[in-house]
Amino acid sequence: MASRRFSKVAVLKGGVSSERTVSLRSGAAIAQGLREGGYEVSEIDVDSRAFALPAGIEAVFVALHGEFGEDGGIQQRLVEMGMPFTGSGAESSRVSFDKILTRERLLAGGVPVPNGEVLRTADSRTIPVPLVVKPPREGSSVGCHLVFDESAWDAAFADAARYSADVLVEEYIPGRELTVGVFDGEVLPVVEIKPNAEWYDFEAKYVTGDTTYICPAELSAEQTAALQSIALNTFECLGAEGFG
């Protein structure tokens, strides 16, 4: 989309995933920003995998979260429709949304990742606590748990397993929460995320409103450069496009 100019844009929001409510909010905010930028915007609430675009739409801003939003499903549909859209293509989205496939790509590309394993039963774990347990194909920390005590393991695994037959378990690495964006090939400043809660879970992301974001993060020049290099390498390993 970078080489073309558009005036009539559709924002796809809502969706069919566990993150539908969040997507409705983010989609509305994106639509408002596009209107303020001079675009003619149609907001489309995607409440099933069957959807249609209004006549005259020239491009789509994908504001869907989770399944059929970030997993390559909607991207493939838009490719088949011949409709330009924001973000990465179908294959990159499919891999990036799957934490297990992402780990494989990052390991192959030399990007550091925590020790991890994929489990189907709670009693097959080999990684000791503290650890992190995650459904591999959910976003916004849905179904994710930090486990600091063995007594909490079974409940955490059972909740993650509600979303997927395979569950990703990784070693817990304490530290600061830092994120780095990439836009049109440019690596953005490092942002530090300071949730008021124990960690940056769904509530801290979207509900409580008491998370602090510090940009740029207070880091040395060497730390900043290292993080930005890892971010760009990650972006490239995943075959991402546009922004991430």
pLDDT digits over 6-39, tens only? 999 999 999 999 899 999 999 999 999 999 999 9
Cis peptide before 216 (omega within 30 of 0): yes
pLDDT at residue 3 greater than cutoff 90: no
Q: What tens digit of pLDDT does each residue of 155-182 get?
A: 999 999 999 999 999 999 999 999 999 9
Say if 8-88 and 177-237 have the same CATH topology.
no
pLDDT of 120 higher than 50: yes
Q: What is the dihedral of CA 71, 74, 78, 80, to 10 degrees?
A: 80
Would you tell me how many other CB atoms lie within 10 Å of the CB of residue 58?
A: 16
- Residue 178 amino acid letter: L
- The residues spanned by each domain of the chain are 8-88, 99-171, 177-237
Residues β-bridged to residue 40: 8
Residue 1 pLDDT level (bands cut at 50, 70, 90): very low
Q: How far is CA 23 from CA 63, 88, 93, 214, in A?
A: 6, 18, 17, 24
| Sheet containing 167-171: order of strands | 116-119, 167-171, 131-134, 145-147
Q: Is residue 207 over pLDDT 90?
A: no
CATH of 8-88, one of 3.20.20.30, 3.40.50.20, 3.40.50.11030, 3.90.1150.10: 3.40.50.20
pLDDT confidence of residue 202: 87
Which CATH class name applies to 99-171?
alpha beta
pTM beyond 0.85: yes
**Per-residue tokens: 86:** 């924001």
We find that the CATH architecture of domain 177-237 is 2-Layer Sandwich (3.30)
